[in-house]
């Protein structure tokens, strides 16, 4: 039996070998605010990443960090063992997968496609079947959290798809966020993601109602916000987004159009499953009002501004 120092030395090399084994050749399509930050984390963890974005200039900072630029979704999928995508909606996902030079044409046996986008579960399942016809496999893996959550390493990931495929991808997903949960078959991660996201707008509207009620009672808006984000009602979302009623971020974390897309997905799923969603429907109308007032590019926290104007107040 070797000395303690020899044992420590051997343990070090075993850990290093396991770490190297986890490094993967990855692809990533969609390098917007969240997608770009995910790629940065994967690069920092030592993975090789080939990336593509419709607007190349958004990828410049990632190329500077070591990301390899690929000229199309097909090129990304051809270069990677596991290809991730994070795009805006079902139509965008279908376009990057099935379009000319799409992901489907770059996949081959044994490869995996992981969609992080929030899209209709039925669309995701249909794409998964087409990918399996190529001998590859697909997971839906939407995330819960914000840019701040991601940067803090607190993002949670929900995954739908085959258990054996999930096992292969889980170590990489853990490099994006520490909480990774397999929820069932294809499309089910999207179902729970939609169930989570509808609550963002509902909570934000309720928070706005409370702030305005306090303000019109004679309490300053700043004081009302400070009390509420340090109270029992302060979910993580309220804590980081509540202050947006005082000042919107320079760049929307999740704009009105994106939030309303998810609300419409929720209401359609509710219709299909006979689940009434009354607070979702009401909150969605405030998002429609925000769009009507020209706020569609603002963070969806601007439902506060809509309600403030209805209350006779200006921000």
User: In CATH, what number is assigned to the domain containing residue 279?
Assistant: 1.10.1040.10
pTM of the model: 0.84
Q: Are residues 178 and 209 in the same domain?
A: no
Q: Residue 1 pLDDT more than 50?
A: no
Q: Are residues 85 and 160 in the same domain?
A: yes
Considering 8-17, 19-28, 93-102, 210-219, the range whose residues carry the highest mean pLDDT is 210-219
- Residues 111, 170, 193, 216: which is the catalytic one? 193
Q: Are residues 48 and 154 in the same domain?
A: yes
Q: How many Å apart are CA 149 and CA 119, to the nearest integer? A: 21
Domains: count for the chain? 2
CATH code (residue 167): 3.40.50.720
Q: Are residues 10 and 117 in the same domain?
A: yes
Q: Which of 305, 280, 299, 304 is nearest to 208 (CA)?
A: 304
pLDDT digits (tens, 9 = 90+) for 272-310: 999 999 999 999 999 999 999 999 999 999 999 999 999
Q: Point out the least confidently predicted range of 86-95, 150-159, 217-226.
A: 150-159
Residue 206: inside a domain: yes
Residue 66: inside a domain: yes
Q: Residue 4 pLDDT more than 90?
A: no
**pLDDT score, position 100:** 85
Residue 166: inside a domain: yes
Q: Are residues 41 and 156 in the same domain?
A: yes
Q: Are residues 122 and 44 in the same domain?
A: yes
Active-site residue, 19 included: no
Which structural domain range is residue 170 located in? 4-184
Residue 39: both structure tokens together:
């790629």
Kindly report the three-state secondary structure assignment for every residue of 104-163.
HHHCCCCCEEEECCCCCHHHHHHHHHHHHCCCCEEEECCEECCHHHHHCCCCEEEEECCH
**Residues 21/49, Cβ–Cβ less than 8 Å:** no
Domain closes at, from 141, 162, 184: 184
Domain closes at, from 139, 161, 184: 184
**pLDDT score, position 285:** 98
Domain closes at, from 149, 184, 219: 184
Q: Are residues 96 and 147 in the same domain?
A: yes
Q: Are residues 121 and 206 in the same domain?
A: no
With a CB cutoff of 8 Å and minimum separation 6, the contacts of 209 are 307
**Residues 49/68, Cβ–Cβ less than 8 Å:** yes
Q: Are residues 180 and 133 in the same domain?
A: yes
């Amino acid at each position: 039996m070797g000395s303690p120092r020899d044992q420590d030395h051997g343990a070090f090399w075993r850990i290093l070998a396991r770490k190297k084994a986890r490094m993967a050749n990855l692809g990533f399509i969609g390098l917007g605010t969240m997608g770009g930050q995910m790629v940065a984390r994967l690069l920092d963890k030592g993975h090789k990443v080939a990336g593509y974005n419709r607007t190349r200039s958004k990828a410049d900072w990632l190329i500077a960090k070591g990301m390899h630029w690929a000229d199309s979704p097909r090129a990304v999928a051809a270069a990677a063992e596991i290809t991730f995508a994070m795009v805006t909606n079902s139509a965008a996902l279908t376009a990057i997968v099935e379009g000319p030079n799409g992901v489907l044409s770059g996949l081959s046996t044994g490869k995996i496609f992981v969609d992080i986008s929030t899209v209709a579960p039925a669309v995701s399942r249909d794409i998964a079947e087409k990918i399996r016809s190529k001998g590859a496999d697909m997971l839906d893996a939407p995330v819960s959290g914000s840019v701040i959550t991601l940067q803090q390493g607190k993002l949670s990931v929900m995954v739908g798809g085959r258990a054996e495929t999930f096992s292969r991808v889980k170590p990489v997903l853990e490099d994006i966020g520490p909480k990774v949960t397999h929820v069932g078959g294809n499309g089910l991660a999207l179902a729970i993601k939609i169930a989570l996201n509808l609550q963002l707008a509902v909570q934000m509207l309720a928070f706005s109602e409370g702030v305005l009620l306090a303000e019109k009672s004679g309490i300053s808006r700043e004081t009302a916000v400070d009390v509420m984000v340090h109270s029992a009602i302060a979910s993580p979302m309220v804590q980081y987004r509540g202050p947006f009623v005082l000042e919107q971020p320079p760049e929307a974390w999740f704009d009105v159009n994106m939030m309303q897309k998810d609300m419409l997905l929720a209401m359609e799923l509710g219709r299909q499953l006979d689940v009434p969603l009354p607070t979702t429907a009401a909150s969605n109308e405030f998002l429609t009002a925000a769009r009507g007032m020209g706020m569609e590019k603002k963070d969806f926290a601007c439902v506060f501004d809509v309600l403030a104007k209805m209350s006779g107040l200006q921000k």
